[in-house]
Structure 1
Amino acid sequence: MASDDLSLGRAFAVLLGVSSPVIIFAGYRAYRTGRLARGWRRLRVWALGGVTTLEEALGYSCAMCGGSFDAREEVRTLSCDHVFHRCKGDKCKHVIDDWLRENRVACPVCRKVALPVLPWKAPPTSAPSASDLEDPLVRQAPAPPASSSGSEEPQLPLSTMASGEEPPL
């Protein structure tokens, strides 16, 4: 019984010793040739979702090429509600999937980071308005009220505020 365990352990050690360098070499080669990065970029674009086949023509145009959307055409809707052609054709030579693979994952129109879209989200019925494109997280702070005495409160340096210490009174 003990010799069976010993031979099983040796067999496992030999298998591990032979397969580890092969796996490491294949991974290094994929990294050097760029296949690994291309695969991750393709997976990243696939994971965004938002691909639908139109049942009827949309009343506005592609945000990238300006071409119209026809029925039974495959489109990709990004999280910012911009809609793009997904397949190359006579109307559109530059499609959104190529843009997202070659560049960072951001909308080419508004430069917002493209987040994953739920699979059942349909393209919007109308083009996004300017107010829809505003980032709700980036708003200007309201101006501080003007003091009637004319004296301003001293501003604390950021290092004092960031350290968590109590400001001097």
Structure 2
Amino acid sequence: MWGLFELLRFSFSSIIWGILITAICLALFFFLIRGWYRNATFTPISYVIGFFLFLLLAFQCTMIVGAIKIINISPYYESQIQQLVGTYFPPSQEITGQESEQVIDWLVTEYPILQHYFDTGEFTGYTAQQLPAVMGAEIRSFLRFYILRRLLWCLGFVIVGAVLVIRSISKQKRYNNYTSTTFTDSNDVF
């Protein structure tokens, strides 16, 4: 939950985009259910379920948009890591796990939004010159997996929401009154 508030500080546009994506998805959600069940009407319970689904999806979509933004600005984080590592370590020095942990701690301290996506990592066997590129690649890789997990949560919420909404809709039977019409052969008319 704190991740949402940190994202608010980090980028208000993540929240706007998350809500917009959620609104479009929910409109499509109700449109598709209405298309499959033409003779059904939504009950107030259907809309309450839709509201809770909106809240859950808005949070997930906002976190996804935030992760996408961090992926897009990961070269900036790489350059920050490069400056830090260049300040404290010679380029050919091999970085230990403890030293790489200190670099991550500094990065998370300097950019608190990152703690909601990752907060640890042990990079061993890399030189100080290689470390920033490796950390940047790992940040992007981890965030892609994070986005996949959030998308799977969204899919689960939508499936459960669809089942609940479909069970809550009121199905009305429509009776079509067809009048019985008899046709006669055209030879009989003349």
State TM-score, norm by structure 2. Answer: 0.22
> Which protein has the bigger helix share?
2
- Bigger relative contact order, structure 1 or 2, given CA contacts below 8 A and separation 6+? 2
State TM-score, norm by structure 1. Answer: 0.23
